[in-house]
Each structure stands twice: as structure tokens, then as C-alpha cells.
Amino acid sequence: MTDQSPASLRDLLVDRLHYSDLAPPVRELLRELVPEEQARSGGGRVGPVQLRSITAAGWRGIGPRTTLELPPGPGLVIVAGPNGSGKSSFAEAAETALTGRNSRWDGRRATDWQKGWRNLHSPDVTPEVSLVLSVGERGEAVTVRRTWHGTKVDEARTRVEGPDGSERKLEEVVDAEALDLSRPFLPYSELGSMINGTLGGLHDAFFKLLGLELLAEFDARVKDTVSGCKQTVEHTDALTARLLDELGTLDDPRAREAAQALSTAKPDVGRVRALLARRAPAAEAELGRLRQQATLAGPDPAEVGGAVARLREAAAGAEEARYGSAEEARRLAGLLEAAIEHQRRSRGTDCPVCGAEDRLDRAWAEQARREVERLQTAAADAEAARQKVAVSVRAVHDLVQPVPVWLRGEGSPLTAVWQEWARCRDVAHPRELADRVERAAAALDDTCRQVREEAARRLAEHDGAWQPFAVRLAAWADAAEAKEAAVDRGKHARKARTWLRPIIDELRDERLRPFARRSQEVWRQLCEHSSVTLGSVTLGGTPGRGRVVLDVSVDDMSAPAYSVMSQGELHSLALSLFLPRATHAASPFGFLVIDDPVQSMDPEKVEGLARVLDACARDRQVIVFTHDTRLQQAVAHLGIKATVLGVSRQTDSVVGVETLTDPVEQALGEARAVSLDPGLPQDVADHVLPAMCRVAVEAACLETARRRLRDEKGLGLRAVEERVECLDRTKSYAALALLGDEQQHARAAVEWICPGGWALIEVFNSGAHTPLPTVDDRKDLVRRTRKLATAIRGSARAQLTGGAR
């Protein structure tokens, strides 16, 4: 998934190994252990993926079906609304529809999630979340819809439809591996997880993203080789010590000779083997056969009993589920779906088959949909039961072993019983197989026990007390030879690991370096005025036990990241680590969904965030959900192009979405709409309309004041907001916009740019004392307001101060 594939990484390892100064045995060991490259799944990815819309119904804070339409192509989209408006429900809906999970609830109690995922105000609305994706270079519209058919959060079905309504597989549209590695969703919960330092998942994602699994597997193989060699040596040493203690208790010259061979600094394996070989070949063959019989093992009764029980349970479940009816259920479901589709397309209610009138009404459609869901569930249950039976039969067959080679050709009772056991593999019927296996296993286990007891008795009689020691000495000789090989191999493996660890670290850091640089760039933009500096970003450990290592310093002094960073800096850190991962060149996702990144950020960081989002939006669709108006202010302050969508929530979880124009035009549009209402009560017109006009003028003043303070005074966002937040009257708004707080000249400045403007401001303040009896009066008030607002907005380019005086 990166520009360098795992194959090139393997080539780098082999090349460095070739030119190393390692001894030949060490190089050979490493060549033996280096893994082959693993081809990544291509998935069904067909090209870049963007979002066209997000829809939710009966989900979280959204009751009736509501759709968030998104502008196509790259660009910044701000979805704004107060807390509780439902905006985050859209973000969670997008993630849940595409991934089947909601990061916000990961790690939380299941009972909380069970209570909170459905909308409480719309119990009769079928919960649903869906995305319309723009897929591929031609922007083909693909809908991913997740619908719940039960009360539990996992009782849901995801359906993917092409532009023609045909069903597709999700993996044909979105590569599951890419969705895991380049996940384009950053929920607020993940921003918060940085505060707790839970970076293990991020480490593992980067490890896979950079194609570093080969390094981890290589290191694990070498480590396991070292460990395995050590265990072999320790096992043989312990076996030697036990045998020496026990040989000392046996009054037999062979035992004393064996003890002498085992007592040297390097035990003499050849001497022990020569000692064991001193007997007639025929006797040795007989002893070999008896040893085989003494260690004979038939089927494990407990294992067989468990497998048989599971087989019977699966068979009973399959019979109960009537698995033979799965195809019939699917056929009926298909017929009903076709009938539903016919009714939807034709909009008729007459039956096309029998001609009955008014049979295919809405009630019939709802009942038919429920029957389709029931039939699909029944088919799925039957198929699952059938699969469970097949798995259980295969598990029982796997327990049945053929007759051992050394037993074949004998006419013994054991051979006959074992053959009966082996024939169980030919039985396919689950109940017959369970009965046959149960009987045959019991018979074979009993026969094996009798053979073992007889062989042990005959071995004991054959050579008295010495023979058991001879058997154990033979096993010891094998272990001692394995130890000799393990000592050399372990020595080579330790040298190999010493050489390999810095090579792995170097290659890993080399792969990570572009991402680390990007993280540092994002951090610098977000935290330009912070005393905390983010240095190198590296990966430590291995998948499952790894961590992201952050080099953090405060005023050039190293410090632990989580102890010195504010919450806003931690959120900035989360963005710094998320964006390089989500926007790397090979990601198929042309969009990002970020939920509430502004919280806890001071004005400078908000301004830095706006710049970072603007840079990402040049080649991606960046959708940011926020309740904090400072991001919109920063975007306007910096002149960044963005689409702003407003989300509002009425009673009973009715959520509305509208595209917001600039504040001045929005206020003027609302005022004009009110002014044109002939049925507007007089007291409402006299009180409300002047207030609405005042909002438009004050918005124009704020825009002009912010621009003037930024461009002429050179003030930053924090200083600008401190100047404007203390304004309380329209006249003070105008003074700051036109003169920079010189209140005594405000009237002259307003009259200079718009004659009659000061009187209009007085009208705003007088409210009901200036009656507006007719529609024409009200329209004239809005017209004069627009003229004043336009003049104020245009004044930012004029030198008004000197002229007003």
C-alpha cells in the first residue's frame, strides 16, 4: 500500500545480508529464515472514493429521514451546528455505514451502546444509515445502506447498490484492507484517546501501511530460533541430570558404563549408542515391536466424545432449522422482492398474476417486506446450520486415523478393530457417523489399552530392570544429538539477531520518515506559537505490543508528551498523526470526515487548523463537523474558500440542513422575507424587523472590523476576537469597523459612507418607537439596511478616518 512494496523491502534485507561481514553459517541461517513476500489483497477497489451524501433515519440524534448533501470534488466543507443538533450523528452514520462499527463506542459498556444507538423520539422509524459514494474516475454513484431489523445493534444488514439499483459486494467498491489502514474517519473519541496515550492501534496501522509485516515476521523467526535452541539445550541437560540420578540406583554394569558416558563435560553419545546395540538383531527387532506397542495410542476418548457431542448438536440444529428449505426460502424471498419492486415501479395496487383489485396496497408492501426479511433470516439460519453440520462431520473425520504402517498386514485383533475405526471416514450421514465413531473409538481405545499393558509386561520380563533404562537412554541419545546441533544453531541465531535488530530499525525508520515529516509539518502549522516541539516520530516494538514513540520537547528540553501537552495540543497531536496516514498517496479515499477537532484549541491553533484543512482540501474532500464557530471565523479571517452547511434540530429529533450564505446576506434575506409578509402582526413587525436589520449591520461591522484589525493593525486571531467580543451596541460596532474605536467620530464616519445611516442605526435602537405600519415601510427599512451594510463592507478599502474628520 506504499510506494515501496514488501518485495522491495525483502530485496533490501537480502542485499544487506549479502554484503555483510557475517560468518557464512550465520548468513545461511538468515537466508533460511527470511520470509517470502506476501502479496497484498488487491480488493475490489475501482478508483478514488468520495462522498455525495450522508443519510440517517431513526439513528442517534436523528429521527425522521434526513440527508446531508455534500458538494462534489475536493474542497473544505464545514458542517456547523450547536451541541445536540445532530451533526455528529451524521459523522457516526458515515463511519457505521461504511465500516459496520462506531469508534465512539469502542471500549464502552455494551449496555450504554444498546440504549443509545436508536433515536428515542422515532420508535416507529426503521433505523437506517446510508452513504452515496462517488466511485472511480467517472464518479459512479454507489449507495451503501445499513438497515436494522431488530432491537440489537448487531441485528443489521448492509446492502450495496450500483446506480442502476443492482446489488454489489462492498469489497468490490471499497478495499477492506485500505479501509483499515487508511481509515478516513477521525471521530472525537479518537482525538480524546490521545489523552490516554492509547497509540498501540496507530502503531499497528502504520506497521501494515508501510509494509513492515515482513520485518516483524523476520525478527520473530530469528527470535523463535534462539528460543527454540535454548529450550532444546535446557531439556537435554535436565534429561541428563535425571538419568544420572536414576542410573546410580541400578546395580548393573551397563548402568555404570552409561553413567560414565553421561558424566563427562561433553557426554559421549557414541558410547551410549554402542552400549545399546549389544544384543542380537532378532531380539532387537522384537524389542522394537514391543516398544511400539508399549507407546501405542488410540483415539482420545474425551476428544472423540466432545466431537461427537458437537456433531449431534449440529445435526439436531440442522433438522430443527430445516436446512433443506434454504433454497426455497431464498426463491420465495426473491419472488416477493420482485413483487414489491413491481408495485413500487407501477404504483398500481392490482395483482399482476391473478388480477385481483387493490391487493397490492401499502399494507401489503409492508407485510411483504417483513416476510422477505423473515425468509432471508430463515435461509441464512438454514445455511449456517448446514455449514455447522459440515464442519462437525469434517472434525470427526479428522480424528479418525488410518491403521499404522507397522500394524498393516498383521492378522491381529488390534488390526481388525483399527480397520473398523478407519472405515468411519467413509460415513457421511451425521447421526450414523456419530454412532459408528462412538462405538469404534471405545472398542479401539480398550484394545489399545490391553496391547499396551501386555507389551509393557513383556518388556519388563525381557530384560528386567535394565530395559526401561535402555529405552530412555535411546531417547536421550536422540536428544543429545539434537542439543549438539542446537548449540551451534543457537550461537549463529544470536549473532544473526544482533546484526538484524539495527537493520530492522533503520529500514523501519526509513519507511516512516515521509510520514513523520508530514506529522511535524502539521504540528508546526497547528501549534506555531506553542513552546512544545514535536520532533521525530518512530515506531517501537512489534504489532500487538508496539507503540508510537514521540520526541517531544518544551523550550528545547525533552519531556514526556502526555505530561506537558494541553488538551488542545493533544488534539493537535492526534491530527498530526491522523492526517499523514489518511492522506498518503496510495489511499483510495478522496475524503476525510473529522468530528469536532476545534474543542480545547486556542485561537492560534484554530487558525492553524484552518490552514491545515485548507491544504488537505486542495486534493481531497474534507468534511469537518463542529459546534464551535471559531473555525468558521478563522476560515473567513484567512479568506479560505469553504462550503458551510448548518444543522439544526427541532422537537422530536427533526433535523434540518441548510447551506449557509455569509452572515450579512443571510440576515438580510431573513429580514426581507419577514418584510414581505402582509399578514405580519404590527407589534411583531415593530419589534422583530428592526432587530433583524440590526443583526445584518452588526455582521457587516464585524466582518469589516476583523479585516481592518488583521490587515491594517497586523493583529492575530486571538487579539482580534478580544477586541470584538466586548462590543455591546451597534454604534460601537460601527465605530470599531470604521475608525478603530474612536467613538466620538463614529457618527461622521457613518454619514460619510452612507448619508442617513446614523439615523437608521437610531431606528434599530428605538425599536417599537418607530412604527412600520405598511409592507412598503418595512421593505424600505430592509433596503436602507442593505445600503448601509454594503457601504460598511466596502469601507475596508477606503481611507475614511481622515475624510470623516
**Which residues, in sequence order, are CB contacts of 264 under 8 Å at separation 6+?**
none
pLDDT digits 0-9 by tens, 280-296: 455 567 767 888 888 88
Q: What is the pLDDT of residue 591?
A: 93
**Same-domain status, 491 and 404:** no
- Average pLDDT (254-261) is 88
**Same-domain status, 538 and 506:** yes
**Same-domain status, 713 and 794:** yes
Indicate whether 34 belongs to any domain.
yes
- Average pLDDT (314-337) is 70
Q: What is the pLDDT of residue 558?
A: 61
Return the minimum-mean-pLDDT range out of 13-27, 75-89, 357-371, 728-742: 357-371
* CB-CB neighbours of 41 under 10 Å: 12
Q: Which residue has the higher pLDDT, 704 or 684?
A: 704
pLDDT digits 0-9 by tens, 331-384: 776 777 777 777 677 766 666 656 666 666 777 777 877 877 777 777 777 777
Q: What is the pLDDT of residue 803?
A: 41
Which class for 594: exposed (0-12), middle (13-18), buried (19 or more C-beta within 10 A)?
Answer: buried
Q: Which residue has the higher pLDDT, 374 or 430?
A: 430
Out of 522, 551, 585, a domain closes at 585
**Same-domain status, 695 and 795:** yes
Confidence class for position 206, pLDDT limits 50, 70, 90 = low
Block residue for cell numbers 432587530:
691
Which class for 481: exposed (0-12), middle (13-18), buried (19 or more C-beta within 10 A)?
Answer: middle
**Same-domain status, 570 and 621:** no
Return the minimum-mean-pLDDT range out of 466-470, 476-480, 769-773: 769-773
Indicate whether 754 belongs to any domain.
yes
Q: What is the pLDDT of residue 43?
A: 44
Whether the Cβ atoms of residue 758 and residue 749 lie closer than 8 Å to each other? no
Total of domains in the chain: 4
Q: Which residue has the higher pLDDT, 765 or 323?
A: 765
- Average pLDDT (622-643) is 85
Indicate whether 465 belongs to any domain.
no
**Same-domain status, 697 and 599:** no
Indicate whether 351 belongs to any domain.
yes
DSSP 8-state code for residue 59 = B
pLDDT digits 0-9 by tens, 554-596: 656 665 555 566 777 777 777 877 888 888 877 888 899 998 8
Out of 599, 625, 660, a domain closes at 660
Indicate whether 295 belongs to any domain.
no
611 grid coordinates? 490552514
**Same-domain status, 336 and 410:** yes
Rg (CA), the chain: 39
Indicate whether 596 belongs to any domain.
yes
**Which residues, in sequence order, are CB contacts of 488 under 8 Å at separation 6+?**
25
Give the CATH number, domain containing residue 157. Answer: 3.40.50.300
Which class for 593: exposed (0-12), middle (13-18), buried (19 or more C-beta within 10 A)?
Answer: buried
pLDDT digits 0-9 by tens, 143-152: 999 999 888 8
Find the farthest-apart pair of alpha carbons in the chain and give their distance in angstroms, rounded.
Answer: 130
Between CA 235 and CA 417 the distance in angstroms is: 37
pLDDT digits 0-9 by tens, 789-800: 999 988 865 543
> Is the model's pLDDT at 66 over the cut of 80?
yes
Between CA 392 and CA 309 the distance in angstroms is: 9
> Is the model's pLDDT at 38 over the cut of 50?
yes
* CB-CB neighbours of 111 under 10 Å: 8
Q: Please tell me which of 263-267, 366-370, 685-689 the model is most confident about, judged by mean pLDDT.
A: 263-267
Q: What is the pLDDT of residue 331?
A: 72
Coil/strand/helix, residue 504: helix
Indicate whether 58 belongs to any domain.
yes
Of 30, 34, 6, the residue nearest 498 (C-alpha): 30
Between CA 354 and CA 646 the distance in angstroms is: 51
- Cα-Cα-Cα-Cα dihedral sign, residues 562, 566, 570, 573: negative
Between CA 226 and CA 495 the distance in angstroms is: 10
Q: Quote the crossing angle between the two packed helices 213-247 and 24-33, to the nearest 10°.
A: 110
388 grid coordinates? 455447522
Q: Please tell me which of 79-88, 244-253, 438-447, 719-728 the model is most confident about, judged by mean pLDDT.
A: 438-447
**Same-domain status, 61 and 119:** yes
* DSSP labels, 599-626: TT--HHHHHHHHHHHHHHTTTSEEEEEE
**Same-domain status, 25 and 55:** no
Laid out side by side, the sheet with 621-626 consists of 185-186, 591-595, 621-626, 75-80, 643-649, 655-659
Q: What percent of the chain is modeled with pLDDT above 90?
A: 19
Q: What is the pLDDT of residue 40?
A: 54
Q: What is the pLDDT of residue 587?
A: 83
pLDDT digits 0-9 by tens, 130-164: 999 988 877 788 999 999 988 888 888 999 999 88
Cβ contacts of 784-788, under 8 Å, gap ≥ 24: 784/756, 784/760, 785/668, 785/671, 785/693, 785/696, 785/697, 785/760, 786/668, 786/696, 787/754, 787/757, 788/697, 788/700, 788/750, 788/754, 788/757, 788/760, 788/761
Between CA 748 and CA 700 the distance in angstroms is: 18
- Average pLDDT (444-449) is 89
Per the prediction, the chain carries an average pLDDT of: 80
**Same-domain status, 739 and 796:** yes
**Same-domain status, 507 and 593:** no
**Same-domain status, 332 and 441:** yes
Of 624, 518, 642, the residue nearest 185 (C-alpha): 624
Whether the Cβ atoms of residue 421 and residue 441 lie closer than 8 Å to each other? yes
Q: Please tell me which of 69-83, 505-519, 699-713 the model is most confident about, judged by mean pLDDT.
A: 69-83
Q: Which residue has the higher pLDDT, 359 or 456?
A: 456
Q: What is the pLDDT of residue 500?
A: 87
Q: What is the pLDDT of residue 343?
A: 67
Out of 639, 660, 681, a domain closes at 660
- Taking the mean position of all CA atoms in its chain, how far away is CA 44? 18
Between CA 631 and CA 638 the distance in angstroms is: 11
Q: What is the pLDDT of residue 490?
A: 92
* Domain assignment of residue 592, given as a range: 47-184+587-660
Which class for 238: exposed (0-12), middle (13-18), buried (19 or more C-beta within 10 A)?
Answer: exposed
- Average pLDDT (206-216) is 71
pLDDT digits 0-9 by tens, 505-523: 888 788 778 777 887 888 7
Indicate whether 628 belongs to any domain.
yes
Of 588, 616, 582, the residue nearest 137 (C-alpha): 588
Confidence class for position 413, pLDDT limits 50, 70, 90 = confident
- Average pLDDT (105-115) is 56
Q: What percent of the chain is modeled with pLDDT above 70?
A: 80
407 grid coordinates? 500394524
Q: What is the pLDDT of residue 280?
A: 45
- Average pLDDT (254-271) is 89
> Is the model's pLDDT at 297 over the cut of 90?
no
